[in-house]
Amino acid sequence: MDEGDPPESFEQQRLANVHPAGWVNPAPADRYDLVVIGGGPAGLVACEAAGPLGVRVALIENDALGGNNLNTGSVPSKALLRTARLCAEMRAAGRYGARAGDDCGVDFAAAMARMRRVRARISRVDSARRLAQAGVDVFFGDAVFSGVDRVDVAGARLHFSRALIATGARPDTPQIPGLADAGYLTNETVFDITAVPARLLVIGGGPLGCELAQAFARFGARTTIAQAAPLFLAKEERDAAQLLSEALARDGVQVRLNTSAVSVRVARGGRARDESTEAAIGPGRRITDSAVNDHD
């Protein structure tokens, strides 16, 4: 994998690792000591821990190995946050007696390509072939329990002594009138965009919402966080929450507390407008769920 590879090749490499197109599920063993349902971090760790103990393990995944952590969570978000932090540091170089040059703009497409390159490289660790080489039987498909000691997947029946359910979580999209029609992003789709939204509304002011809001503000989006709760980051230490609030303000993020999104409509020019916060989203862009719904 080379930095000069086209961006689409990074996605091809990732998918070839986490859900190979030509993958053929193995013939089930007579009985497994452990069946793990869900190939995210928890499921993968369980498989890796059980293997050296001589345990016969089967792993079932209905989408992509690595789960949210690799594909739509920590890995892509932290790669993007690293670029956003560098942008902020370059703009503040004068405070430290340094010069960042006359042009320290953001090449968002290049930043996203780097994120995909990082994700593709890390996906090697979670690859189906590596697991198979370690002795884990990897099955792709939906798991359905058909008895107390058996589970069906893609037409095969697996018998087991123990089963571990590690299926993770999904975005919880709020039921806001007009949201579905206007369009929105979740943590599962925000990393697919290639251009910075002109304006961005983040619904939910928890840690995930804040980090994405700050990153996109540093990339140039006019960003607003709408939070229904009256206290910013209520579960965090107040001094830490205050520091973050001040940092977001420096980056131009508007935080609106006691604010609930009650409806979304498409305004003139194709722009979506949230009627409770009056935060506009650029033409052709989508509201990000912030992590829609990052309500803590």
Average pLDDT over residues 64-86: 94
What stretches of the chain adopt beta strand conformation (E)?
Answer: 32-37, 57-61, 137-140, 143-147, 150-153, 156-165, 184-185, 199-203, 222-226, 254-256, 264-266, 272-274, 280-281, 287-288
Average pLDDT over residues 113-141: 96
- Computed over every residue of the chain, the mean pLDDT equals 86
Burial 168-182 (b: 16+ CB within 10 A, else e): beebeebebebbeeb
Looking at the structure, give the CATH architecture of the domain made up of residues 1-169: 3-Layer(bba) Sandwich (3.50)
pLDDT digits (tens, 9 = 90+) for 228-256: 899 999 999 999 999 999 999 999 999 99
25: pLDDT strictly greater than 70: yes
Q: Mean pLDDT check: name the lowest of 112-116, 193-197, 213-217.
A: 193-197
3-state secondary structure of 186: coil
How many angstroms separate the CA atoms of 180 and 63, rounded? 24
291: pLDDT strictly greater than 50: no
Which tokens is 96 given? 């430290």
Looking at per-residue pLDDT, the higher value among 284 and 32 belongs to: 32
- What pLDDT score was predicted for residue 290? 29
Q: Where are the domains of the chain?
A: 1-169, 179-288
- What pLDDT score was predicted for residue 268? 58
- What pLDDT score was predicted for residue 284? 27
Q: Kindly list the distances between the CA atom of residue 174 and the CA atoms of 114, 125, 214, 276, in Å, as whole numbers in the listed order.
A: 31, 34, 22, 15
Contact 93, 100 (CB under 8 A): yes
- What pLDDT score was predicted for residue 289? 31
**Alpha carbon 118 to chain centroid distance?**
14
What stretches of 11-64 adopt beta strand conformation (E)?
Answer: 32-37, 57-61
- Helix/strand/coil percent split, the chain, to 5: 35, 20, 45
Which tokens is 119 given? 């994700």
How many angstroms separate the CA atoms of 215 and 149, rounded? 47
- What pLDDT score was predicted for residue 2? 59
- What pLDDT score was predicted for residue 288? 32
pLDDT digits (tens, 9 = 90+) for 247-282: 999 999 999 999 988 888 776 555 554 443 333 332
**1-169 and 179-288 share one fold:** yes
- What pLDDT score was predicted for residue 5? 63
For residue 292, which of 168, 188, 173 has the smallest C-alpha distance? 173
- What pLDDT score was predicted for residue 102? 55
283: pLDDT strictly greater than 70: no
Measured at the alpha carbon of residue 58, what is the angle toward residues 145 and 189, in degrees to the nearest 5? 80
- What pLDDT score was predicted for residue 138? 98
124: pLDDT strictly greater than 80: yes
pTM of the model: 0.82
What CATH topology corresponds to 179-288?
FAD/NAD(P)-binding domain (3.50.50)
Q: Confidence band (pLDDT; 50, 70, 90) for 96?
A: confident
